Amino acid sequence: MEHEPSTGPGPAGRGAGAGVRYVADAVIPCDGTVPVLRPGAVEVAGDAVVRVGRPGDLRSTAPDMVEITVEGALLPGFVNTHCHSPMTLFRGTGENLPLLRWLHEVLWPREAHLQPDDVYWGMTLAAGELLGFGVTTTCEMYFHEDATADAIVDAGSRALITPGVLQLPGDDGGAAWWEPSLERFSGFHERRHGEAGRIEVGFAAHAAYTVPLAGLVATAAAARARSALFHVHLAETEHEGDDFTAEHGGSVPQVLADAGVLDGRVLAAHSIWLTPDDLGVYADNDVAVAHCPQSNAKLASGIAPLTDFLDRGVRVGLGTDGPASNNDLDLWEEMRLAAMLARLRSGDAGALPAAVALDLATRGAGRALDRPDLGVLAPGAKADMVAISLDDPAFVPLLDDAMLLEHLVWSASSRLVTDVWVAGVPVVVDREHRTVDVARARDEVGRRAARLAGSA
């Protein structure tokens, strides 16, 4: 590959990660216990959080720990549960088309010409964007999985990488065309799962309208055999499952459940067009949902039944989807829109309070990925943290702790992110990237995007 070796932080723990107490004006743990600590402190050793509490309480039992003052509030890093981040290469292409036309006429013909280095730089630019927004973990479904992993490792961010089974234009693999992909993904899992303490590997199949049932069964089985996540697009558009249902005699969720596809760790992206019976299938099989409100709205795909999921105990986390269908990677925007759309759909101005909306970007997203160590500031959690400035009109007036959470969701935004840590290592400091050369990544993606546009 043409890119140079990493200049990023390398393996987790290198840098300011051991024996440090961060003292902030406020700490928002997002762990389901105390909503806000004002002031608060987080103690980090290596790549993990060891204690969270009031500064005085922590100092009294560990007086010799190195202490760093953080101006503003500390939150856990946000978790993006569904993305195709290297698609920064295709941002702004095929605008104003519905999903299926956009895929067939614009996206897939260009993706057929992708090279590994294209994906590396597309992911690198996305990693810079994500980290700048305070998104420390992303769940990726894309091609050229090694290039994706290389970019994540070099950027110092964290990812759950789920390379996807999909046949692009020009591919001809025979009747069981997915088998070579699964063999390659299995090798990828063996080689790179757990790398740098920041790479987790899963398996994905694009969707039931692009992958035959036998391919879905085989992909899910490969994931289960490794206790890995199985990731799939499901019920994104109203009629995408019509042919599948006609062939197999049931709704897509029900047929997949009957075939064993929904056993194990399953993440279903979008999940908009579901019947009450389908919701029951999700709940009965503990299927988690990646909720992508901006992409769904932009493509006019629909509004997912978010409050119904939560009422049924379905695990839900927010996702941005790819930057060609959103068109940014800002999870703060998803958080606010998710709450607004939930209220519109239900006709209830009290639906999805601020604390619940924040949970969808943090703890809820970690739970959706079956990673309770992500999206929280609690003992044993990964030391992925975000500092935001409270010195902004968005936080005025600030009369109590509850108002801090309300302002965080309804009036603050990613523009207030000042510092970001992944695995205890500072990757954004005073709004400056330490691990991603954003200027070079912009140049690389721009040149490669022009080539791909000309080759389609």
Cα(53)–Cα(73) distance, integer angstroms: 13
Split at pLDDT 50, 70, 90, the class of 14 is very low
Residue 183 shares a structural domain with residue 237? yes
Query: Are the beta carbons of 31 and 363 closer than 8 angstroms?
Result: yes
Has residue 199 been placed in a domain?
A: yes
CATH number at residue 326: 3.20.20.140
Return the pLDDT at 292: 98
Per the structure, how many domains does the chain have?
A: 2
Query: What's the rounded mean pLDDT across residues 7-20?
Result: 47
pLDDT exceeds 60 at position 11: no
Please indicate, yes or no, whether residues 141 and 276 belong to a single structural domain of this protein. yes
> The pTM is what?
0.95
Instruction: List, for residues 131-153, the tens digit of each pLDDT value.
Output: 999 999 999 999 999 999 999 99
Mean pLDDT of the chain: 94
Structure confidence at residue 359 (pLDDT): 98
pLDDT-based confidence at 172, cuts 50/70/90? low
CA separation, residue 4 to residues 66, 88, 128, 149, 427 (Å): 35, 20, 17, 14, 19
- Measured CA to CA, the distance from residue 62 to residue 442 in angstroms comes to 44
- Over residues 81-99, the pLDDT tens digits come to 999 999 999 999 989 998 8
pLDDT at 171 over 80: no
Q: Read off the CATH number of the domain in which 68 is found.
A: 2.30.40.10
Confidence of residue 12 (pLDDT cuts 50, 70, 90): very low
Q: Estimate the crossing angle of helix 354-361 against helix 331-346, to 10 degrees.
A: 130
One domain for residues 70 and 84: no
Mean pLDDT of 395-418: 96
Distance CA 139, CA 122 (A): 15
C-alpha dihedral over 7, 13, 16, 21, to 10 degrees?
160
The three-class DSSP label of residue 86 is helix
- Tens of pLDDT, residue by residue over 202-249, are 999 999 999 999 999 999 999 999 999 999 999 999 999 999 999 999
Q: CA 127, 104, 247: angle at the middle one, nearest 5?
A: 110
Cα-Cα end-to-end distance for the chain: 23
What is the rounded CA–CA span in Å between residue 74 and residue 408?
12
- Domain of residue 390: give its range: 20-76+374-438
Q: Is 443 a domain residue?
A: no
Peptide bond into 296 cis (omega under 30): no
454 is a domain residue: no
- Kindly tell me if the per-residue pLDDT of 260 is higher than 50: yes
Asked if the model's pLDDT at residue 3 lies above 60, the reply is no
| Residue finishing a domain among 333, 368, 403 | 368
Beta-carbon contacts of residue 322 (< 8 Å; ≥ 6 apart): 83, 84, 85, 87, 90, 295
C-alpha angle 163-169-173 in degrees, rounded to nearest 5: 70
Tell me, yes or no, whether 400 and 315 share the same domain: no
Tell me: do 242 and 322 sit in the same domain: yes
